[in-house]
Amino acid sequence: MKVNAVLKALSHPIRRDIVSRLRDGALTAGDLADAYAVSKPTMSTHFAALKEADLITAERDGNSIYYHLNVTVAEEALSALMSVLGAGEAKKRRAHNRSRKEATI
């Protein structure tokens, strides 16, 4: 997984919203484009950034392109971000401090 590509792709609010919409299932490019007041070339740029980061996949069905969320990449990116932020370590420290406090009572 390319963490930098994922973070760059998620840096734009429209792309974050696209990912959010795709959590509930696949949508066509047209359905997604209708949700935003931007041009079709702009939407193509957003789709390209999300595909470059492997956050979404595209499947052509006749004249329609269906976009799907790549949940595995989204989960890996979240895990990588949490490790950068030290979220797991902070949780361990709080649990350790609680157990030490309870032991002294």
Per-residue pLDDT tens for 1-19? 578 888 899 999 999 999 9
**Torsion (CA) 21, 46, 5, 79 in degrees, nearest 10:** -10
Half-sphere exposure of 49 (CA within 13 A, CB side): 21
pLDDT per residue of the chain (105 residues) written in tens, 0 to 9: 578 888 899 999 999 999 999 999 999 999 999 999 999 999 999 999 999 999 999 999 999 999 999 988 888 888 888 888 886 566 666 666 676 666 666
CB 75 within 8 Å of CB 83? no
Domain that holds residue 18: 3-104
Q: What is the pLDDT of residue 59?
A: 96
**What CATH number is associated with residue 30?**
1.10.10.10
CA-CA distance, 53 to 47, in Å (whole number)? 10
CA-CA distance, 78 to 16, in Å (whole number)? 13
Paired with 61 in beta bridges are 64
- Alpha helices in the chain, H assignment, sequence order: 3-9, 13-22, 29-34, 40-52, 71-85, 87-104
Is-above-0.85 flag for pTM? no
Q: Give me the number of domains the chain comprises.
A: 1
